[in-house]
Chains A and B, each alone.
Chain A
């Protein structure tokens, strides 16, 4: 019986258990449900959990362990020379065995018996059943395949019996336990709690896994390239990794040009996004009439929904050339991909981010403060400047820091609009490159995963991660501090 069908059966048993538990709980108190410790539904859920959970757990564990066991048993049956031979040869044989076994499973029992006879042309037989083989199988491989098929079939049969048996056992056990005194709600809620905990662990463990993998690959990288050369080097020239060289090929991996490019573009972006976003938030929350706010705010937030790649090619195709032509008119030589192009477009991308967060924060300033200020004869602009913005300042700073961490981690816009030249330059009209751009370019194309040219991507990723993490933590700290003030 297939595993998915088995799941369905176990779940069906669980549903039956739900009804039985529910019914038995009601029956045990003669329909007077107020005499039960928990509501009848909890008794049903209690039986359902006891029926399904152990069986499902068994199925999952079995499916993980049984292929390992089967393959080691089959390997033991192979001729000595293959068992003790090189690993590649063993893997090759095992994959042939798997292919034959796959074909054998399509045969009828009589045909299967025929394959036991070494004289049978297994290849032709399988071909006639629509399972072509690439090689003419050796007899020991056919034997091994037959053995593997038998093992698999019996394993599956054993699993079917034991899991359905376990489900039935759980059902009976839980049903037997059902009594008015059973604290079924607490038991069910404990299981639910464990489920919730599991879900939150997924996110945490994933993050941890990513960080650890970056960390180990970075350590690997730093064993090839000294960390001080990476952190304080002013030249980024990784060269190409030549196969087999493995020694770094004399490339230079200085972080500073990339870091400078990242920060420079982010600063330009924030110079655009912060004033525009903040003033639009002030207008939206303090001056705009209801009608304007209802239409303008969603429109502004549409900006936040545009994929950054779209901003990117807008910058590349429209905005960059426009800027270049404008520059030519006034006698400035502006490169089509430059700090200015990427920074301005990224600034536009960040506007809704800053304005939406600041708007929420300004709205959270209590109305009583506005009234207090008006009551003293302050005008609206005095109230905004002297009471509302100072009160909202920590939150606004938090919003700006979050925007900054987005700017630093932003990839698509800079890939298309910033250029790829690792320049250490103050001139905003020249192309620069960023950490994210270099991660993309180091990991694109044919790769050798042991060369520093590739591994540097992990070190760059780790640097980026540390930067944005520090900014995010600081921003959250500030936002939280601000929240406490009004509670």
Chain B
């Protein structure tokens, strides 16, 4: 009931605010099944552009599953089935006429563990632009690589060794390289699946700083186990529990004044 009200309020706000804060991604009644098992129950949520949305919740609550619906990464799992509707800028991403490959170019993803390709730093960043033919010439490609690395706050550290293997960087640098790789294809939405869980606190701080920068140009959705991280980087937060979206709202409200008892229990550390 409360969810519905918030959603209605938001939709109203969108109509009023118009271009200022439009909904980038909208999900309606999304459910996910792994074979017979249902992992996600009728999730409905709207995600604004130019901001950070955090999904929090205990392990196995469905937050990563939902995240992977947004770029249809779940398609790679044969037994997985998705129902409901997800739109990006009012375009249904599960429409059969839409090519999943094009979708994934629009929706970038950063994974839990840094996964640079066993290629040079340059080749890692140039991978996406090459595939999608974004650069007409070598100079253009160089430019894309440089700006992407700058946006990922990695340029200064690697500009003299672009031909070294990406796997030789430190964990935090590798993760920023993966972010640069995602940014290089100029996506509209960037999904981050616990991007800092394999990093030490200093590297985490750098990545968080980077997320803060990136939100001015992208719609960022981040799944995190750390409530502090959600509080630090996000403007809106959604709390998942047992496959249900329990509560969604401005991060401040969720952490200081949650509506649902379960949210209250989780953020005060009674379970999770």
Which A positions have Cβ atoms within 8 angstroms of B? 289-290, 366, 368-379, 382, 386-387, 390-391, 485
Give Cα A435 to B181, complex, Å.
Answer: 53
Residues of A within 8 A of B105 (CB): 376-377
B218 to chain A, nearest CB (A): 15
Cross-chain pair count, CB within 8 angstroms: 70
- A-B pairs, top 6 by smallest CB distance, nearest first, are A377-B105, A375-B109, A368-B115, A377-B104, A376-B128, A372-B115
B171 to chain A, nearest CB (A): 14
How many residues in B have their beta carbons less than 8 Å from beta carbons of A?
Answer: 28
A375 lies within 8 A of B104 (CB): yes
Asked if B127 is at the interface (CB within 8 A of a chain A CB), the reply is yes
Give Cα A308 to B219, complex, Å.
Answer: 62
Residues of A within 8 A of B24 (CB): none
A-B contact pairs, 27 of them (CB 8 A): A366-B115, A368-B111, A368-B113, A369-B117, A369-B118, A371-B109, A371-B111, A372-B111, A373-B117, A373-B127, A375-B104, A375-B108, A375-B111, A376-B104, A376-B105, A376-B108, A376-B127, A376-B185, A377-B103, A377-B105, A377-B106, A377-B128, A377-B131, A377-B185, A378-B127, A378-B131, A386-B127
Q: A371-B115, A485-B118 are in contact. Are A377 and B167 (CB under 8 A)?
A: no
Residues of A within 8 A of B182 (CB): 375-376
Asked if B28 is at the interface (CB within 8 A of a chain A CB), the reply is no
Give Cα A371 to B74, complex, Å.
Answer: 10
B124 to chain A, nearest CB (A): 9
Asked if B73 is at the interface (CB within 8 A of a chain A CB), the reply is yes
Residue on A nearest B71 in the bound complex, by CB:
A375
Residues of A within 8 A of B78 (CB): 289-290
Give Cα A190 to B264, complex, Å.
Answer: 60
Interface residues of B in 85-140 (CB under 8 A from A): 101-106, 108-109, 111, 113, 115-119, 127-128, 131-132
Asked if B211 is at the interface (CB within 8 A of a chain A CB), the reply is no
Give Cα A198 to B12, complex, Å.
Answer: 82
B159 to chain A, nearest CB (A): 22
Asked if B76 is at the interface (CB within 8 A of a chain A CB), the reply is yes
Residues of B within 8 A of A387 (CB): 117, 127
Q: A371-B115, A373-B127, A378-B127 are in contact. List 12 more A-B contacts (CB 8 A).
A: A289-B78, A368-B113, A370-B76, A372-B117, A375-B111, A376-B127, A377-B103, A377-B104, A377-B131, A382-B131, A387-B127, A390-B119
Q: A368-B115, A369-B115, A391-B118 are in contact. Are A375 and B73 (CB under 8 A)?
A: yes
Residues of A within 8 A of B167 (CB): 485
Residues of B within 8 A of A369 (CB): 115, 117-118
